[in-house]
Amino acid sequence: MAELATIARPYARAAFEYARAGNALGAWSKFLAAAGVAVADPHLAGLIDDPALSADRLADLIASVVAASRIKLGDPEKNFLKLVAEAHRLPALPDVVIQYEQLKADAERAIDVEVASAMALTATQKERLSEALARRLNRTVRIKETVDPELLGGAVVRAGDLVIDGSLRSRVEQMGAQIARD
C-alpha cells in the first residue's frame, strides 16, 4: 500500500540516521526486522487497534516479543517503538523495515539480486554471476537463489529495476512470437 510506504519513510530515515551515527546498522536491521514480523503477526496485529491498550503498553508488548527472539533492546529501540506506537503508525513497521534495508544497502553499496534458475546454481556459477553483476552494477552483490523448473533452462536475474531474462522459456517464447510475425 502506497500510503504505508509514505508513512514509513520518515521513520525509516530516522532509524537509519540514528543507526549509522552509532555504527549500528546491522543491529538496527535485526531489531526492525523482528519488530516488523511482530506487528504483522495476526495475534499481535489484532491488539494494535485495541483502544484499551495504551501506546506505551503496545510498545512494551512489541519490545517483549522482539526481546524473546534474542535481540538486545536498549532505550533507543524502545523509544523508537513508543514513538511509532504513539503516532499510531505500528502497521507501517513492515514498510519501515523495507525502506530501512534499502537505505542500508545504498550506504553499504550493496544490492540484493534474485536469481531464479531451472536448476540450482553451482558455487562456481554463483561466484561468476556475482562478480559479473558486481562489475556491472558497481555494488556488492548478495544473491538470493530460487529454483523454478518452469524456466526449462537458464536463469532470470532481478536486481532492483534491472531484469535479465536468460531463461530458455523466454527464448522459446521469443522464437514463437518471431515465427508468428513472419
pLDDT of amino acid 181: 83
pLDDT digits (tens, 9 = 90+) for 113-128: 999 998 999 999 999 9
Given 106, 141, 171, the domain boundary residue is: 106
| Domain identity same for 98 and 116 | no
- Distance, CA of 50 to CA of 56 (rounded, Å): 13
CATH code for position 125: 3.40.30
Residue 96: which domain range?
Answer: 2-106
What interhelical angle do 2-21 and 25-40 show, nearest 10?
Answer: 150
pLDDT along the chain (182 residues), means of 10: 84 97 95 95 86 92 93 94 95 95 90 90 92 89 90 85 81 81 78
Given 75, 90, 106, the domain boundary residue is: 106
- Distance, CA of 11 to CA of 66 (rounded, Å): 18
| Domain identity same for 14 and 48 | yes
Given 56, 86, 106, the domain boundary residue is: 106
| Domain identity same for 136 and 102 | no
Q: Which of 136, 141, 135, 170 is nearest to 154 (CA)?
A: 170
Contact 112, 152 (CB under 8 A): no
CA angle, 155 as apex, 101 and 143 as ends, to 5°?
30
| Domain identity same for 13 and 94 | yes
Alpha-carbon 37 to chain mean position? 12
